[in-house]
Amino acid sequence: MSQGATSLKNDLLAEIETEHEQIQARIRENQQLIVQTQLEVERLRERNVAISAQLSRVEANFDTIPRPDIKAAYDNALDAKTRLLSMQGQLDKLKGNQEELQHIEQLLGRLLAMLRGVQPDQLAEGGVAAGTDDFFGKQSGLSTKAIISMVEAQEEERQRLARQMHDGPAQSLTNFILQAEICQRLFDRDPARAAEELGNLKTAASETFLKVRDFIFDLRPMMLDDLGLVPTTRRYVEAFQDKTNIEAKLNILGDDHRLPAHIEVMMFRAIQSIMGYARDELDASSMTIVLDVGTTTVKATIEHDGRNFDPDTVFSSASSEDASGLRTLRDRIELVGGSLDVQSAEDELTRYVIMLPATANVEE
């Protein structure tokens, strides 16, 4: 048993124990936030009940209450409903965080138990590295850092979707309630004004319906299950160009045939993620996507004229930033036996090449 091997084992244990303790501390802090947020949600629910009773009184005396007071009552109701939706969304996010943190804590606990059972002599022969890979290979096929990175990426996606839902459909539905109540009261007093308000309500409902449809498509396009990768990608690129005014061209090569479901989802999400990043962060004004569906592999090449960056820095394990989630995206692609290559140089188009197997056989 060498002194160097023993020292290496102790260093590894100390590092993982520190991370384990930090995760446990975050779990305790998050639990306190959950309790506090739950109390706030209950308080806001009670407030909404009281405001609903107040609105009922306003409706019963609609003709006698001054218009400013009516407006104040509805504004108060709108504010209360919005705050309740916001706090409920925050509570759901905290609970999701807690589940992920507990999962990581359990994995780190198992890893500690495994390392404590490893003899120091094994370290000199790479025993811990091999043992760690075997352990996480059985658990999820990923390293500890990859697991944490994927969990963080999933949480960021949840936060983005929650913000979209709150700022879009949830807010619109709240406004619908207010407009519908106003229309209801105007029918007897001012039919012409009621008809005008109903027209506005119909227009707003139609616009919200389109937003919800786009939201659902971005979340999980049903046509991906029904029609496959090529039609879904074509539809997404067309919608992307219409909504952003960014010139987006799609070229399809090879044979349009169905692929394993997880491969179709992985390729579509990769294309969607890269196009979104080029739009939001790199200020691209044009992009070209070439999708080549072969019998053994499926390949997507994406080029855009947005700002350049250093791929080596992004993919470096020492980098604290993961631009556009590219490192996490590459981990996911490699998990199913694929690869992601990125080329970006000054005064040249940035190029992404995604390769995935076209069959269900994934190396263990």
d(CA 270, CA 174): 34
Cα 6 to Cα 138: distance, rounded to the nearest angstrom = 26
62 or 135, higher pLDDT? 62
The packing angle between helices 229-244 and 261-280, to 10°, is 20
The H-assigned helical ranges of the chain are 3-60, 67-116, 121-124, 127-139, 144-165, 171-189, 191-219, 222-226, 229-244, 261-280, 311-315, 326-335
Q: Is 364 among the domain residues?
A: no
248 has pLDDT over 90: yes
pLDDT value of position 299: 96
- pLDDT score for 141: 45
* pLDDT over threshold 70, residue 69: yes
Please check whether residue 363 lies inside any domain of the structure: no
Higher pLDDT, 282 or 335: 282
Q: What is the pLDDT of residue 126?
A: 47
Domain interval for residue 140: 3-218
**Residues 196, 246: one domain?**
no
What pLDDT score was predicted for residue 117?
A: 64
Long-range contacts from 42-46, C-beta under 8 angstroms, 24+ separation: 44/80, 44/83, 44/84, 44/87, 45/84
Same-domain pairing of 59 and 191: yes
pLDDT of residue 231: 92
pLDDT confidence tier of residue 119, bands split at 50, 70 and 90: very low
Q: Is the pLDDT of residue 18 over 60?
A: yes
Of 218, 242, 261, the residue at which a domain comes to its end is 218
- Please give the tally of structural domains in the chain: 2
The whole-angstrom separation of Cα 254 and Cα 343 is: 24
pLDDT over threshold 60, residue 146: no
Q: Using CA atoms, how far apart are residues 14 and 335, in angstroms rounded to an integer?
A: 29
70 and 157 assigned to the same domain: yes
Find out whether 146 and 331 touch, Cβ atoms under 8 Å: yes
Q: Which of 174, 196, 218 is the last residue of a domain?
A: 218
Which residue type, as a one-letter code, is found at position 297? T
Give the pLDDT score at 362.
Answer: 42
Same domain for 246 and 142 = no
Return the pLDDT at 2. Answer: 57
Mind listing the pLDDT tens digit for each residue in 273-319?
A: 899 889 988 899 999 999 999 989 999 999 999 999 888 887 775 55
Same domain as 343, residue 208: no
- When pLDDT is averaged across residues 137-154 and rounded to a whole number, the result is 51
8 and 69, same structural domain?
yes
129 vs 349: which has the higher pLDDT: 349
At 72 the pLDDT is: 78
pLDDT tens-digit readout, 209-245: 677 766 666 666 677 878 889 999 999 999 899 888 8
Structure tokens at 128: 């811990």
Q: Is the pLDDT of residue 148 over 70?
A: no
pTM for the structure as a whole: 0.50
Task: Please choose, from the candidates 160, 159, 166, the residue with its C-alpha nearest in 3D space to the C-alpha of residue 81.
Answer: 166
